[in-house]
Amino acid sequence: MSTTSHSEGQGSLFDRIGGAKAVRSLVEDFYALVLADPSLAHFFAHADMNKLRRMQYEMFAAALGGPVKYTGRPIVHAHHGLNIALVDYQRFVQHLFDTLAKFPLSEQDCYDIISRLNLYTNDVVSAGTGIVG
Ligand code: HEM
């Protein structure tokens, strides 16, 4: 029985997930799910998906503690005016969760990754949060 806890495993999440190659394939798989979701696909109708995948790779890799620098626009600027609601954000994260489940990660690692991205919720969501003011 493992006695590991929060700080389980060696190295960064980036290393544990399998490095650059794994993060690239994670981003591929993830956007395949997002674009196949009729409630999300329209947001990406005018997006340059190649650039988006590249930026998301950097963003994920950096967020997971990898030796990569994010060179894209600030997250708040990239999503400004897209009118993304909390429910859209939640579906997006659900697809990420489903994608992560295909990788050899512990449940704790999956939650850690999602928590890191959830730091950006307020930068991404701009519509229908149900929170007034
Ligand atoms: C934590 C959650 C999210 C993160 C970390 C994230 C990250 C990013 C990044 C790094 C970019 C590229 C920025 C650049 O071009 O310089 C981007 C662009 C974009 N994101 Fe997100 N995103 C998140 C959630 C969402 C959600 C929920 C949606 C829609 C439902 C969305 C829709 C888009 C679109 C449409 C673009 C392209 C904008 C354009 O080309 O002008 N994102 N996002």
d(CA 119, CA 32): 23
Confidence of residue 133 (pLDDT cuts 50, 70, 90): very low
pLDDT of the residue at 11: 86
Q: What is the pLDDT of residue 5?
A: 40
Ligand 1 neighbour 65 (Cβ under 6 A): no
**How close is the Cα of 1 to the center of ligand 1, in Å?**
40
pLDDT tens, position by position, 64-118? 999 999 999 999 999 999 999 999 999 999 999 999 999 888 999 999 999 999 9
**Tens digits of residue pLDDT in 2-51:** 444 444 567 899 999 999 999 999 999 999 999 999 999 999 999 999 99
Q: Tokens 């696909």 sit at which residue? A: 41
Burial classification of residue 64, based on how many CB atoms lie within 10 Å of its CB (0-12 exposed, 13-18 middle, 19 or more buried): buried
Q: What is the CATH number of domain 13-124?
A: 1.10.490.10
CA geometry: angle at 86 spanning 80 and 89, to 5°? 75
CA atoms within 13 A on the CB side of 40: 18
Report the separation in Å between the CA atom of 72 and the middle of ligand 1, taken as the mean of its atom positions.
10
Ligand 1 touching residue 72 (CB < 6 A): yes
Does the structure show a pLDDT above 60 at 129?
no
State in Å: Cα 102 to ligand 1 middle.
Answer: 22
Pocket test for ligand 1, best of 124, 125, 126, 129 (most atoms within 8 A of CB): 124
Ligand 1: atom nearest CA of 51 is 15
